[in-house]
Amino acid sequence: MTRSSTISKRWHVFHALRETLVGLLLCIVCVGAMAEPASCRTVRLSDVGWTDVTATTAVLTQVLRGLGYDPQTTLLSVPVTYSVMKGGNIDVFLGNWLPAQLGVRQPYLDEHSIEIVRENLTGAKFTLAVPGYLQEAGLKDFADIRKFAVPLDSTIYGIEAGNVGNLHILDMIKRNDFGLGGFHLVDSSEQGMLAEVSRAVAARKPIVFLAWDPHPMNMQYDLRYLTGGDANFGPNFGGATVSTVTRAGYLQQCPNVAQLLRNLVFTTRGESEVMRSILVDHQTPEVAARNWLAANPAVEMAWLQNVQTFSGKAVGAGGSVAPGFAARFETWLTDRKIPVGAAVAVGIEWVKLHGAAAFRVTGVTFSGAINFVYQLLRTIPPILIILTTAVFAWRMQRSVALAIFVIAALLLIMNQGYWQQTLETLSLVLVATLAATAIGVPLGIASARHPKLAAALRPALDLMQTLPTFVYLIPTLVLFGLGVVPALISTVIFALPAPIRMTQLGIASVPRSLVEAGESFGATRWQMLLKVELPSAAPLIFAGITQCTMLSLSMVVIAALVGAGGLGVPVVRALNSVQVGMGIEAGLAIVLLAVILDRITRR
């Protein structure tokens, strides 16, 4: 072998090795170019609680998971969404309704803290509507609403406090547009409003409410959108488009997700199908979205054009990455869900159908009691209420300092403009405390004397104190509709364990010597209760009533979600519209009222 041939072979080997290394480097560069940064794996989405946004967000979540991403959804109001997006804590929002949200969105566009990706839905509507039978009766235009003030009880039903549509209604009332100055808005939620619409339609009662399309309500009810609201909600019945919005810089940081968002477009029919699965078929948003995508593979494939998986691989013919065993097992188990919620829903519907008369009487009784207390307080001059409360506080506690505090606190509440809401809250708290005490004290006495009854009540009382308070609102809202009645019943259920348990403890703690002394004097059972046991147990019973009062007051914010009014409304409105000042003012009013009630009733 010559020297030249050896050199030639080595050169060929080196040349082949060089080409291999270059190829590997090119592959690494290509993969690095296709794959996104690790920070893009988590996609933070905002859901504002409207079923249409919940549906589209759930669909996008399923698509992202199929691509290997980790989407995380947070429930926020619209103003809070933009505020949090400005801080970089939310990446994507699919529910930018225009022109309704134009005023809320524009400041963030001006300071370049958010970016508009594209319109993901056209042909939407967002304005006031009425049932078809009410339009036939003559209510066709915004200007006709005031003509039906009496049958409407001067009421317009909206969704959550702070929502843009609610704010438009409040502005109309404030400016007395269309003569609506004497009307009031009932803030609740989408489902709370629709529950009231269902009750009104079933009874063919007049009702004006906030409506939009796409939504299954357009198929469920014969509703008609009102004309004449162009200046408030926009032309063409609040004709709207919905856009996809991201935080500033996100499209450049995560180009693969950005491509998916640019492809993402919905139809009113498609959204309505997903929403119907959620609202009518009672599927979870995840299941509804997964089933809809399975039934519409062509739509998903169109969204995935020029989109890759998170790892940079091409999307397969199936349109997504095959899920792992854990995900498949979760899907399998979820698809075979035990129908606990469906059974409860059927039971509630049965109770609603067969107990309509009883619920009607109960509702009239409770709402009448609260309205009586509220109207009584409204007829008394505020200064007289303040002075009377101060004198009562002094008589109960013999404290001049407390009387002065009561006067100062109530004057501050009036100064901040929350006197009417305070009276509404106080009416609800007083009636709820009276009802819970009337039920709780006798049950506590009975359970102290009958151990089997106490054992039977214990798990029920534990459930009443640990079950989330929002759960109480769901069946009461269905059975009684929006207003103070579901709030009152939920408050009583929540506060009832305190007087029962404290009364039981007080009666059981009566010294045996006192009982024997009463028996030796020949006291009857009633005399023993009234003259021996109740006086001895009085401190604990009053402590239970005080706890009951505080628990009732703690429900005021939650009660605002079902249209009960009171101090909870400005708190919820401030939370949903990011109004710090309003939230602090209303919160301070609640705290002052709580301190007054606690100090007066404390023994």
With a pLDDT cut of 90, the percent of the chain lying above it is 39
Q: Is residue 50 located within the same domain as residue 142?
A: yes
How many angstroms separate the CA atoms of 194 and 278, rounded?
A: 14
Q: What is the mean pLDDT of residues 450-462?
A: 90
Both 247 and 360 in one domain: the answer is no
d(CA 210, CA 218): 12
Instruction: Please tell me whether residues 229 and 361 are part of one structural domain.
Output: no
Tell me the pLDDT band of 34, cut-offs 50, 70 and 90. Answer: very low
User: Hey, CA dihedral for 541, 546, 547, 548, is it positive or negative?
Assistant: positive
CB proximity list for 542: less than 8 A, separation 6 or greater? 601, 603
Question: In terms of pLDDT, which residue wins out, 37 or 118?
Answer: 118
C-beta of residue 441 within 8 angstroms of C-beta of residue 590: no
Q: Could you give the residue ranges of the DSSP H alpha helices within 89-244? A: 102-110, 132-136, 149-152, 164-175, 190-203, 217-220, 230-233, 235-238
Query: Do 437 and 581 lie in a common domain?
Result: yes
pLDDT number for residue 292: 93
Q: Measured on CA atoms in the order 24, 25, 26, 28, is the torsion positive or negative? A: positive
Residue 78 to residues 85, 91, 113, 278, 568: CA-CA distances in angstroms?
11, 14, 15, 21, 19
Confidence of residue 318 (pLDDT cuts 50, 70, 90): very low
Q: At what angle do helices 382-397 and 400-415 cross, to 10 degrees?
A: 150
pLDDT digits (tens, 9 = 90+) for 524-550: 888 888 888 888 888 899 888 888 888
Domain end residue (candidates: 278, 306, 334): 306
The confidence band for 317, taking pLDDT boundaries of 50, 70 and 90, is: very low
Residue 19 lies in a domain: no
Which value, in Å, is the radius of gyration of the alpha carbons in the chain?
31
Residue 387 clears pLDDT 90, i.e. is over it: yes
Residues 69 and 211 in one domain: yes
Give the whole-angstrom CA distance, residue 11 versus residue 537.
103
3-state secondary structure of 550: helix
User: What pLDDT score does 104 carry?
Assistant: 86
Q: Which of 306, 341, 366 is the last residue of a domain?
A: 306
Query: Mind listing the pLDDT tens digit for each residue in 42-92?
Result: 999 999 888 899 999 999 999 999 898 999 999 888 888 998 999 899 999
pLDDT of residue 254: 94
Q: What is the pLDDT of residues 273-300, one digit of tens each?
A: 999 888 888 788 998 999 999 999 999 9
State the pLDDT at residue 150. 92
A 10 A CB-CB count for 507 gives 22
Rounded to an integer, the average pLDDT of 470-488 is 79
Q: Which two tokens stand for residue 108?
A: 């963030």
Domain count, the chain: 2
Lowest mean pLDDT among 105-119, 318-332, 413-427, 438-452: 318-332
124 pLDDT band (50/70/90 cuts)?
Answer: confident
Asked whether residue 97 is domain-assigned, the answer is yes
| Position with higher pLDDT, 20 vs 366 | 366
**In a domain? residue 173:** yes
Please state the rounded mean pLDDT for residues 492-497. Answer: 90
Instruction: Report d(CA 264, CA 280) in Å as an integer.
Output: 25
Domain final position from 280, 306, 332: 306
- Of all residues in the chain, what percent carry a pLDDT higher than 70? 92
Domain encompassing residue 487: 353-379+416-601
Other Cβ atoms closer than 10 A to 34:
15
Tokens 């609603």 appear where? 352
> At 464, which CATH number?
1.10.3720.10
Residues 507 and 432 in one domain: yes
Where residue 278 sits, what CATH number does that domain have?
3.40.190.10
State how far the Cα of 37 lies from the Cα of 291, in Å rounded to an integer.
Answer: 31
Instruction: Classify residue 332: in a domain, yes or no.
Output: no
Q: What does the pLDDT read at residue 515?
A: 81
177 and 292 housed in the same domain: yes
Residue 394 lies in a domain: no
444 plus 564 within the same structural domain: yes
Residue 335 lies inside a defined structural domain of this protein: no
* Residues 512 and 591 placed together within one structural domain of the fold: yes
Quote the pLDDT of residue 497.
Answer: 92
Helix (H) or strand (E) holding 155: strand 155-157
279 shares its domain with 359: no
Q: CB of 237 within 8 A of CB of 140?
A: no
**pLDDT value at residue 207:** 95
> Higher pLDDT residue, 2 or 465?
465
Query: What is the tens place of the pLDDT at every residue in 397-439?
Result: 888 999 999 999 999 999 988 899 899 999 999 999 999 999 9
Note whether residue 169 is domain-resident. Answer: yes
CB 261 within 8 A of CB 117: yes
Instruction: Look at residue 455 and tell me whether its pLDDT is greater than 80.
Output: yes
Considering the domain boundaries, does residue 46 fall inside one? yes
Q: Check residue 515 and report its DSSP letter.
A: H
Question: For the residues 243-268, what does the mean pLDDT come to?
Answer: 94
Between 340 and 423, where is the model more confident? 423
Q: Average pLDDT, whole number, for the chain? A: 85
Separation between Cα atoms, residue 165 and residue 189, nearest integer Å: 12
Task: Please check whether residues 358 and 299 belong to one and the same domain.
Answer: no
Among 49, 48, 50, residue whose Cα is nearest residue 93: 48
Give the strand pairing for 155-157 and 184-186. parallel
Same domain, 455 and 542: yes
The residue among 98 and 316 whose pLDDT is bigger is: 98
Q: Strands 209-213 and 114-131: what pairing?
A: antiparallel
